[in-house]
Chains A and B, each alone.
Chain A
Amino acid sequence: MNENRFASGFLVPPGVWLLLLFVVPLVLVLALSFGYTDDLGEAIYSTRLDNYERLVDPDYLPVLFRSVGFALAAVVLCLLIGYPVAYYIAIFGGRWKNVLIALVVLPFFVNYLIRTYAWIAMLGDDGLVNGLFDSSIRFLNTPYAVIGGLVYGFMAFMILPIYASLDRMDPALIEAGKDLYGGPWQTFLHVTLPHTMQGVLAGSLLVFLPAVGDFVSASLLGGPEEVMVGNLIQQQFQASDNWPFGAALTVAMMAFLMIFMLFYLRAAARETREATA
């Protein structure tokens, strides 16, 4: 009994942590979404449905689709760039592995906002890149700049889990694939990729979730059309003094993101089954 008690004692810190930092805020956001603001701009808890009624408006759909589209584009680009990087480090990194991974992580010590401002300095009309190539390409205030900002902002979230899954993989498997007359591409498709699918899925989710709710990239690098859900939420909390509507937007977005989360959980469960089968 004592042992049991001792063991379950370990559950208390994470339990409290989850409760305080996850459950309570979530309940508060949910409660707030039924509220309203008084004439002083203060949010008041209530039981009104106004905020959700306002949400049921087809005008919001393009913003939602745009957010998901940008986030998916960011996932695909992160995958196309991040997988080869992770592969190179894991397979050919040798004794430099840890240094290379540290280099991948290093830029993330700098705040995302500041890194995004650096993009403005680099890609502006009179910026570094245009100056270097004596060109006058308009990079900023375009959807491409927003997607680029998301890719750059969340790249490490893709590289690290893929690297971890590649690092775990037994290199003998690749040898075996080659021994069985598989070409490099076939070996990759039939051996390496399936073995690292969990990393790919985890990386995709880790990039997708923050990207779809991001507002920094769209607000600093986007044009008038590049409005994402995050921008609408930020507006409600930081400018319009309408926290309850911001909370309703947040709840709606979380509900929507659960769909992707469930998709991930199912796919991940399948991967685990196949891996252990």
Chain B
Amino acid sequence: MNGNPNRRELLQGGAGLALGLGLAGCGVGNIDRGSLAETEKPIRKRVDGDLVYFNYSEYIDPDLVKKFEKRYGVRVRESYFDSMSAMMAKLRAGIAYDVIFPSAEYVQRLRSGFLLRRIDRDKIRNIDTVYSYFDDPWYDPGAEHGTPYGLYATGLGYRADKVTGMTGSWRDLGEADSGDRSFLLDDHQEAIGMANLVNGYPLNETDRDKLEESKDYLVDLKPKLRGVSADTITNMASGNAWIQHLWNGDIVNIRYQVDNPEDYRFQKCREGLPVGNDNFCIPVNAKHPGTALLFIEFMLEPEHAAQNVEWIGYPMPYEGAATEAFQGLVKDDPEINVTIEDLENGQQFENLKGDGRLAWDEVWTEFRVA
């Protein structure tokens, strides 16, 4: 009767502690691996509710979103992530999205965890415009769990009116005369991948001795850099960066912001070209997969795809209007485009396993603290 009110809290505190200790072996978050049966459930293409949308911000033409809302009488409830890790964290927290935009690597991860609904290609009009390169991609055999969205290649953006000595090599980042205004991309994969390529190794090298050489390359590069930054568009448009390690579409977006767009150019580097693509995917716990399917189909309509390409500044791998739209956008510097040959000759980041992944993380951390 006379119970001390603090006792309950104490008990709860104890429970919390026990929970912490009892967690050993458990994963963070609660989407345990899905089941194959769940991913296989066919999706009926029909409006089954508002679209819960999860993407990078500024990575779709907002007018198209409005048009979709109008056509189907639904609301698109948008939320954004700023990295693939952040996306995974939200998915792990069990939040239900209807359409997400993972990169190829993450499609592979999500798929292998049975976390993506199978998309019946026959149900999507215009799916045959997608480059046949993506009919059976390495990250998604049979292309059954994702539809390609933006396409990108990594290279060096530079100011043709300021920089001298660009030679077509990754080494230009540290060696061309950029007036001490060179920026490395703040992305551990892209930075280490570049160093691997410079040293003549494959993009995804995981051998520790070879990675050590790549680390040395990056550490030697450091004093020649002004910054390590992912704000590529701000850096170049503000005049702070004259050479910036970046993704091709960023150059298009920079050009939209400056008075002398023709001076902002893109160089693919001869030691190797990192390429990649983002995708439309429907998570296994989506509440409105029918609307999501309609949305993917809507975005694949040639007219919409072309409009979107011009807005996001990144190419999309669809034959016809979308491809032509991007070619038109980069007429004066076709290097900015990502062609099918680029996809075939380029290299893509893969999911590294165990020690390889740890080794990359250590190289990056050691480079940052060096």
A: residues with CB less than 8 A from B are 1, 5, 8-9, 11-12, 15-16, 19, 23-24, 27-28, 30-32, 34, 37-47, 54, 59-60, 62-63, 117, 120-121, 124-127, 140-141, 219-220, 222-225, 227, 231-232, 235-243, 245
Contact = CB atoms under 8 A, between A and B. Distances in A.
Contact of B5 (A9, A24, A243): A9
Interface centre among B13, B225, B361, by most chain A C-beta atoms within 10 angstroms, is B361
Interface of B: 2, 5-6, 9, 12-13, 16-17, 19-21, 23-29, 82-83, 85-86, 88, 92, 109, 112-113, 181, 184, 186-188, 222-223, 225-229, 231, 234, 238-240, 351, 353-354, 357-358, 360-362, 364-366, 368-370
B33 to A, nearest CB: 9
Contacts of B19: 24, 27
Contacts of A31: 20-21, 23-24
B231 A220 contact: yes
Contacts of A63: 369
Given A141-B227, A220-B231, A127 B238 contact: yes
A225 B223 CA distance: 8
Contacts of B2: 1
A120 B234 contact: yes
A253 B83 CA distance: 24
Contact of A39 (B5, B25, B354): B354
B86 A238 contact: yes
Contacts of B184: 224
A245 B361 contact: yes
Contacts of B362: 54
B8 to A, nearest CB: 8
Contact of A27 (B5, B20, B109, B360): B20
Contacts of B364: 235, 240
B228 A224 contact: yes
A8 to B, nearest CB: 5
A49 to B, nearest CB: 13
Contacts of B365: 232, 235, 240
Contact of A43 (B28, B231, B357): B28
18 contacts: A11-B5, A27-B16, A41-B357, A42-B88, A42-B92, A43-B28, A44-B25, A59-B366, A120-B234, A120-B240, A124-B240, A125-B240, A126-B239, A220-B229, A224-B184, A235-B188, A240-B365, A241-B357
B186 A219 contact: yes
Contacts of A120: 231, 234, 238, 240
B288 to A, nearest CB: 26
Nearest to A117: B234
Contacts of A237: 85
The 3 closest A-B pairs by CB, nearest first: A126-B239, A45-B23, A27-B20
Contacts of B83: 238-239
B17 A27 contact: yes
B27 A43 contact: yes
A238 B364 CA distance: 14
A19 B16 contact: yes
Interface centre among B12, B21, B223, B369, by most chain A C-beta atoms within 10 angstroms, is B369
B21 to A, nearest CB: 7
